[in-house]
Amino acid sequence: MAWLCAALVLVIASLSAFIRLSRAGQGCEPWPQCQGIAAAEAAQPGLGDSVAMARVGHRVVASTTLLLVLAMAGLALASGAVLRTEARLALVLLGLALFLAVLGRWSGQSRLPAVTLGNLLGGFAMFAVSVRLALVAGRTGAAGWRPVPAPWLGVATVLAWVQVALGGLVSAGQAGLSCPALGACDWRAGSWQALDPWVMPAIDVLPTHSEGALVHMLHRWSGMALTLVLLVLAWQAWRLGRRAVAAWLVVLPVLLVALGLVQVWLRLPLPLVLAHNAAAALLLAVLMGLRRPRHAAPW
């Protein structure tokens, strides 16, 4: 059930990103000049067919996922072993699901960056915990399991969450093209307000506006730091004989960097932005799976 839950949560996160980006004008024509107009139109009642269908699909899948999480939490409580790893993870999943349900109901169609971050971080956390639960439940012994160094894993995990949060601020603040060149970007032209999730972004700005340069460059610098830490972690995992883990820790950051560069070069095509979003969720799930459980080995 945990693997099914993880798959459903990834679908929800992708649909949520599609709805949010489409409402912000991403993918309109002619891009990017149309973004301000498209965002203003999206703020009015009525949605395009694709967004309306995505919202219906989001509600159906989210309701199904909530029922699945309730079933897993119920089984965990019925087992009487509330303190076991599986039971604790199931209860964490339930808490995250309820948080996202309340946030979605309360926030509606809010464009506030804090709401975007709540949905993004909550959805990614739910996906990572679902994968963690599936891995823990699928292994029964820890014999021969060699953990990767905890300090490096901790640093990588913190950097990954920071990177996701910065990416959410870039998206919410429509700063995706504030630094269109790889190195030639005056980050000092950016505004510190772009880092405040409680400041409502303007609805009629283009993604090339200079106010987003600071948060955009912070996202790039954080990504470079995370990539270096993950490569060190991959090397250590390889030395410990955990080849599958090492492969994931190399492939995912390289994929994320490539998608980030290409999507800026191609001026933020919606499919690439969604792929970048999904790859980030997978990376967080991999890092969650590396934490050693008390009675089971993840990989």
Q: Global pTM? A: 0.87
User: What is the average pLDDT value for the chain, to the nearest integer?
Assistant: 83
Judge contact between 197 and 112, C-beta under 8 A. yes
Instruction: Give the distance, in angstroms, between the CA of residue 121 and the centroid of all CA atoms in the same chain.
Output: 6
Band of residue 176 on the pLDDT scale cut at 50, 70, 90: confident
* Tokens, residue 41: 């139109």
The pLDDT of residue 65 is 94
Q: Whose CA is closest to 240, among 149, 140, 143? A: 149
Q: Whose CA is closest to 120, among 166, 153, 64? A: 166
Given a cut of 60, is residue 43 above it in pLDDT? no
The pLDDT of residue 66 is 93
- Tens of pLDDT, residues 105-115: 877 667 889 99
Length of the chain: 299
Query: Could you tell me the residue ranges of all domains in the chain?
Result: 2-290
- Tens of pLDDT, residues 47-67: 567 888 999 999 999 999 999
Residue 237, H or E segment:
helix 213-239
The pLDDT of residue 204 is 61
- Tens of pLDDT, residues 253-277: 999 999 999 998 888 889 999 999 9
Whole-angstrom distance, CA of residue 16 vs CA of residue 278: 11
Given a cut of 80, is residue 238 above it in pLDDT? yes
Half-sphere CA count of 5, side-chain side, radius 13 A? 30
- Tens of pLDDT, residues 240-250: 888 888 999 99
The pLDDT of residue 136 is 81
Instruction: Give the distance, in angstroms, between the CA of residue 155 and the centroid of all CA atoms in the same chain.
Output: 18
